Structure 1
C-alpha cells in the first residue's frame, strides 16, 4: 500500500503526530510525508491512502487569520493551510481511501475538531473520510498529552492493515 500524509503544523505537534502515523503506516508500505506548503496540487496516481491532518484553530481547520494569530504567539506556522489545499484539489479525489486527523486541546466536543472539518470539506469533493481521529495537546502550543505519539503510531498501523 502506498500512502501519502499531508499535514499542517503551527507549533510542531501535528507534525510529530504525522511522523508517528507515518512510522506505523510504514510497516505496510511506502509512505510520503509532506507539509501542506509543499503538498502537490495534483495527487499522484499511485496513492492508495491519503492521510490529511492539521491543528484545530477556532473549532475548525485553520484560516489565514488564525495562522496569523498563532504566528503572533511565536508559532513558525505555514503559508497555506489544509483548508486552502483541499479547496484546490479535483473532484472527486483520485484516491481510494482518505482519512483525517487533527491535534486539539481538550476532550470535549465543544472544542471542535479540524479532523471533522476536513472530513466535511472532503464531501465537497464527493469523497468520504473513512476514519477521523483527534490527538490531544495540553495547551495550544503543546506539548502533546502523554501517550499520544504511541496512539498515533498504532492508528497508522491499523490504517495499514
Structure 2
C-alpha cells in the first residue's frame, strides 16, 4: 500500500502536522512519501492508494497567489509563492485508478467556529476534478498565523494518521 502526502506550509506548522500524520500512517505494509507541494508529482504515480493533501487556511479557503505573497511579506518561509495545493490539485489529470483522498488544514484557533476551511475546499476540488473519493477531512489548530501549533495537535495528527491507516487495512 502506498500513500502520497502532499503539503503546503508557509511557517512550518502544516509541515509538522503532515510529518505527524505520516508517522501515524507508517506501518510495515505501507509506504508513505511526504512531499512539499512545490515538488509534488503530476500526474499521480501509479499505485498510490491513499492521497493525503493539506495546507493552511487562508481567507477561509486554500491559499491563492495573493495570500501566499502576503504570507511571504509577513516573514513566511521563502519558496512558497508559486504553486499551492489549489493549483496542484487543479492541474492534476484524473488518475486511471483514483485513490482514496484525505484532506487536512491548519487554522487559527480564533476562527475555529467560522465557516471556511482549506481542507473542505480541497475536498471539493478533488471531487470536481475526479481525483478520487474523499474519505476524511480534518482541521488542526495554530495559535495565530505564524504558529505555534496548539498543544496536543501533533498527537492528534498522529492519531488521525493511524485512523486513516486502519481504513486501508
5+ long unaligned stretches in structure 1: none
Aligned partner of 1:5 in structure 2 is: 5
**Is the 8 Å Cα contact of residues 44 and 95 (structure 2) preserved in structure 1?**
no
**In the alignment, what sits opposite 1:25?**
25
Residue 95 of structure 1 corresponds to: 98
Within the candidate set 90, 98, 117, 2:121 is matched to 117
CA contact (8 A) 2:11 2:147 kept: yes
Aligned to 1:80: 83
Contact 2:98 2:133 in 1 (8 A): no
TM-score by length of 1: 0.95
CA deviations over 1:100-143 (Å, ceiling 9, x no partner): 00000125331521000100111211333111000000000000
Partner Cα separation in structure 2 for residue 76 and residue 112 of structure 1: 24
* 2:45 counterpart residue number: 44
- 1:62 correspondence with 2:53: no
Query: Where does 1:140-155 land on structure 2 (aligned, <5 Å)?
Result: 140-155=145-160
CA distance in 2, matches of 1:34, 1:92: 19
Provide the residue aligned with 2:134 in structure 1: 129
TM-score when scaled to structure 2?
A: 0.90
- Which stretch of the first structure deviates more once superposed, 139-148 or 75-84? 75-84
Q: How many residues align?
A: 161
Give structure 2 stretches of 5+ with no counterpart. Answer: none
Please say which of residues 33-42 and 106-115 is displaced more in the overlay: 106-115
Q: CA deviation at 1:152?
A: 0.2
* Structure 2: distance between partners of 1:74 and 1:108: 24
Taking only aligned residues, the RMSD between alpha carbons, in angstroms, comes to: 1.4
Query: Which ranges of 4 or more aligned residues in structure 1 deviate by more than 2 Å?
Result: 91-96, 106-109
Deviates more, 1:49-58 or 1:127-136: 127-136
Partners of 1:53 and 1:46 in 2: CA distance: 20
